Amino acid sequence: MKKAFNYKRCLLGLGIIFCLYFVFSGFVETARGSQAAKEAELREGPNERTEIDLKAIPFKIIYETFRETDGKENWELFIMNADGSNATNLTQTKDLDEMYPHASPDGTKVCFVADEGTGKNKVRNVCYMNIDGTGRVKVADNARQPCWSPDGKTIAYLKGEYERYTTQAYGTKGLFFYDLATARHKQHPNKDLHHIYNICWSPEGKWFVAIVQGGMGFDHNIIAFESYGTGVFDLKKYGIEGCRPDLSPDGGTIGWAQISEVDLYVADIDLTLSVPRAADLRGVVRCKKGYYVNQTDFSPDGRYIAFGYGPEVDYSVGVKAPGWNICISDLSGKWVQITTDGKSNKEPDWVPIGKKNAVALEQ
């Protein structure tokens, strides 16, 4: 026997759905309003240095800077304490330019890019060395934007799109893996990766986050892509849009810079799923009009973010950015300036301090 359609039950069900929708919408709007209020309270510009106990931070910071070496100005890699003290030149190569440093997970090594040659013969290469500046090894010619695997045994890097030299960050085509033990190179399984930069390998090793600009069907987006697969996912649908993403040591938080009312954001991210998800976006840093914030990096304990800050100029790797300095934020909205000379101090990266590298750094 055919059952009669129950209109009352249907209407009741629809009513429940609409009620839940409006309750959820109200919750979202309330959360957004609360977040907007918190972001409005963020201070424009750095706080007094006493707002953060910098001397209590046990890690060092390595960064690129443009300054004079043996009578000639060039790019060098410096390392300093978190409070800006004891700044030391690790490279001291007046005829080379070293930039974009990334410390290994155990803090014993650093990978970076080095510009060699002049004019039409200029080329950007990827290298690594010990954290004290010794034992330099060239990884690849015409390569850029290196980062470490979570176990420190592999360096991922991007190949230049063309043979000619360029400072354009997105001038890349293909991602490759370099095994330190065997010195062998292997291309990422996704051969279509191009115009990506600022790659960051997730702590569990299954994902990369990066920027893609004018490639792979994207305009300018922050993406996540599989470390050993071909999946690529746009994080813009979660409100993550801007530049220079970085992941916290536990992989549960993503930070990035964004030219908007707030200049540095963080959000929760779940990379344990087959499709990454993000939520709870919150502003951390706001700077004055006419200034930029960029180049974010989480500290080894996840409590701080180091970043570059300065006037609205081109701050690309290998491009001088007068007035730029290194800063630290504690994620609560407090941030302070660490360097003060404005000598294009950029691309900060935290250096974990352990027994293996503590002696080398003290010498």
pLDDT in tens, 21-36: 443 344 333 333 334 4
For the chain, give the mean pLDDT.
Answer: 89
Return the pLDDT at 41: 79
Q: What is the pLDDT of residues 237-260, one digit of tens each?
A: 999 999 999 999 999 999 999 977
Cα(305)–Cα(259) distance, integer angstroms: 17
The residue count for the chain: 363
Q: What is the pLDDT of residues 79-123, one digit of tens each?
A: 999 999 999 999 999 999 999 999 999 999 999 999 999 998 999
Return the pLDDT at 82: 98
Q: Average pLDDT in the 275-298 region?
A: 95
Q: What are the chain's domains?
A: 42-362 (2.120.10.30)
Return the pLDDT at 73: 95
Give the residue from 144, 109, 115, 105 showing the smallest Cα distance to 128: 109
Percentage of residues in the chain having pLDDT higher than 70: 86
Which residues have a Cβ under 8 Å from the Cβ of 295 and sit 6 or more positions away? 244, 257, 307, 308, 315, 346, 347, 348
With the C-alpha atoms ordered 45, 50, 51, 56, is the resulting torsion angle positive or negative?
positive
Return the pLDDT at 32: 36
Return the pLDDT at 221: 97
φ/ψ of 296, rounded to 5, equals: -75, 150
Return the pLDDT at 148: 98
Q: What is the pTM of this model?
A: 0.88
Return the pLDDT at 344: 98
- Stronger pLDDT, 30 or 206, i.e. the higher one: 206
Return the pLDDT at 202: 98
Using the structure block, give the residue that is written with the tokens 């005829």: 95
Residue 13: enclosing H or E segment and its boundaries? helix 7-40
